[in-house]
């Protein structure tokens, strides 16, 4: 089963616009991570935000985390054609014997940026 | 540092056969996790190894197994392949299991 759910499932924007996608999850987490995947290739790590953090920035990326609502958002500013990809949120649960090394992924948001 | 490498990149097998996939983690990383990605089920956790020990296993049948060697390289094996095993198999390594996982390019398996 998938822990996170991304919203929207698909997003089509023009270069220069901002892209925002949301992720909701169900259980207590240690951290939440965002990944990008281009055309069925491997996942590229974008950013990790810990459960005690509320916002984090990395270049054109801004991630927020609201643990009370069990939700996170990823904002990509000034998007480029090269940002076209699928974006996944993944949660790492508070460590227990059944959470070691296990990231639980959402279904992803497919982003298309047109020039 | 070199990234996570996976071999082979593509495989075509027939039902009933078995397959072994290999993953070499980033140097110094001792935790290796495996995931299966399909269009229908998305990304699902298979298992995690740390220091040659399987510490966690996802909800997959016993046909899926793995191991880790003393140099942290890991292999996963799928026996008696079924059509539904067609997927992208991704391996990820990390310094600490609960932290950032670095993924390899994946092995795309097609079962005919």
- Whether B85 contacts chain A with CB within 8 A: no
Inter-chain contact B45–A2, Cβ cutoff 8 Å?
no
**pLDDT attached to residue A97:** 64
Q: What is the pLDDT along chain B (112 residues), one digit of tens a residue?
A: 789 999 999 999 999 999 999 999 999 999 999 999 999 899 999 999 999 999 999 999 999 999 999 999 999 999 999 999 999 999 999 987 668 999 999 999 999 9
Q: Is A38 within 8 Å of A112 (Cβ atoms)?
A: no
Q: Is B105 within 8 Å of B50 (Cβ atoms)?
A: no
Inter-chain contact A88–B43, Cβ cutoff 8 Å?
yes
Mean pLDDT, rounded, of chain A: 91
Residue A33 in tokens: 């991570």
Across A20-34, A40-54, B94-108, least confident range: B94-108
* Chain B positions in Cβ-Cβ contact with residue A30 (cut-off 8 Å): 98
Inter-chain contact A105–B99, Cβ cutoff 8 Å?
no
- Whether A99 contacts chain B with CB within 8 A: yes
CA distance B108 to A40: 9
CA angle in degrees (0–180, nearest 5) for A32-A35-A37? 160
- Whether B68 contacts chain A with CB within 8 A: no
Highest-confidence segment of A5-9, A80-84, B48-52, B98-102: A80-84
Which B positions 12-31 lie with beta carbon below 8 A of chain A? 31
Q: How confident is the model at residue A3 (pLDDT cuts 50, 70, 90)?
A: low
Q: How confident is the model at residue A4 (pLDDT cuts 50, 70, 90)?
A: low
Please provide the DSSP assignment of B23-88 as one string: EEPPTT--EEEEEEEETTTEEEEEEEEETTEEEEE-S--TTEEEEE-TTS-EEEEE-S--GGG-EE
**pLDDT attached to residue A1:** 44
* Chain B positions in Cβ-Cβ contact with residue A35 (cut-off 8 Å): 103
């Amino acid at each position: 089963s998938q822990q996170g759910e991304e919203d929207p499932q698909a997003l089509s924007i023009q270069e220069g616009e901002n892209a925002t996608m949301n992720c909701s999850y169900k259980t207590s987490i240690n951290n939440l991570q965002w990944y990008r995947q281009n055309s069925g290739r491997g996942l590229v790590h974008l950013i990790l935000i810990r459960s005690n953090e509320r916002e984090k920035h990395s270049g054109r990326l801004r991630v927020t985390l609201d643990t009370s609502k069990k939700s996170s958002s990823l904002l990509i500013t000034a998007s480029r054609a090269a940002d076209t990809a699928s974006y996944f949120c993944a949660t790492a649960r508070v460590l227990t014997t059944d959470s070691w090394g296990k990231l639980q992924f959402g279904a992803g948001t497919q982003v298309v940026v047109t020039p | 540092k070199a990234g996570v490498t996976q071999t082979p990149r593509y495989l075509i097998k027939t039902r009933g056969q078995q397959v072994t996939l290999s993953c070499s983690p980033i140097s110094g990383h001792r935790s290796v996790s495996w995931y299966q990605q399909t269009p229908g089920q998305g990304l699902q956790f298979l298992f995690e190894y740390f220091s040659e020990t399987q510490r966690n296993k996802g909800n997959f049948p016993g046909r899926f197994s793995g191991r880790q060697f003393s140099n942290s390289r890991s292999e996963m094996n799928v026996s008696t392949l079924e059509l539904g095993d067609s997927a992208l198999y991704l391996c990820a390594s990390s310094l600490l299991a609960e932290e950032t996982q670095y993924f390899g390019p994946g092995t795309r398996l097609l079962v005919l």
